[in-house]
Amino acid sequence: MEWSAEGLIIGIRRHGETSLILETMVPGKGRWLGLVRGGRSAKQAAFLQAGNSALLTWRARLEDHLGLFTVEATKLRAAGMLTDRTRLYLCQLLADHLRLLPERDPHDALLDAILALLDADCTPAELGAELARFEIYLLEELGFGLDLESCAATGALENLTHVSPKTGRAVSAQAAEPYKDRLLRLPPFLGADIVPEPGDIADAFRLTGHFLDRHVWAARGIEQPATREWLVGVLSA
């Protein structure tokens, strides 16, 4: 078995004295692991870093084997992240989010969104808005999508202001009024391409965090990534 494609490196771990197990996200392949022989050498370790893109060739006798990677760097981002804590933590959080997906299950739209986030040149508020949108799409890809198109109570398509923490469905301002203290606020920018107002980013992360915890983190007995809390604080300021 053999294939070649450009992919994103999302993690590495040591294997034996000289090798690495490389974790990647590859178009049409999903999250894919493979062994890099000699990956801890100075030459290879310099570019085998999370956040870098590379041309990957994977070989194995059988498809369900771990297999071997040969790697050629195509876009180096990791070095720049070392001097930018926000980008570094963003890369780590996105990698943690990808690990929620099954191995070898393609999610090309998520990969495209991650590459756009890693390469974005934008303000903290713009980055926060895009990260929140990404987490909503992640929930959808995991099978826990939110219904933000119409009011769960009235069917209204406009003036949607809240979300039910139980059903993940939107609620209009009129229907939400008696229950506002029990609902999650729906920031307007999540339903339209508009600039977030002060407080919108924090409310968006509160919304996505609630459903990620309910359906994924708590359900699997894992903790929210520590990098997310720091990022939410910085991007919501």
Task: Give 18-51 pLDDT, tens digit per residue.
Answer: 999 999 999 999 999 999 999 999 889 889 999 9
Q: What is the pLDDT of residue 220?
A: 96
The predicted-structure confidence for 178-226, as pLDDT tens digits, reads as follows: 999 999 999 999 988 888 988 999 999 999 999 999 999 999 999 999 9
Q: Where are the domains of the chain?
A: 2-80, 120-235
Fold of 120-235: de novo design (two linked rop proteins) (1.20.1440)
Q: Is 96 exposed, middle or buried (0-12, 13-18, 19+ CB in 10 A)?
A: middle
pLDDT of residue 237: 84
pLDDT at 106 over 90: yes
Ramachandran sector of residue 59 (left: φ over 0; alpha: ψ -120 to 50; beta: rest): beta
Percent of the chain past pLDDT 70, that is, above it, reads 100
- How high is the pLDDT of residue 191? 85
> Residue 87: what pLDDT?
96
Enumerate long-range contacts of 15-18, CB under 8 Å, 24 or more apart. 15/39
SS3 155: coil
pLDDT at 192: 82
Please compute the mean of the pLDDT values over residues 143-172 and round it to a whole number. 96
Interatomic CA distance for residues 151 and 69, integer angstroms: 49
What is this structure's pTM?
A: 0.94
**CATH code of the region 2-80:** 2.40.50.140
pLDDT band at 60 (very low <50, low <70, confident <90, very high): very high
pLDDT band at 151 (very low <50, low <70, confident <90, very high): very high
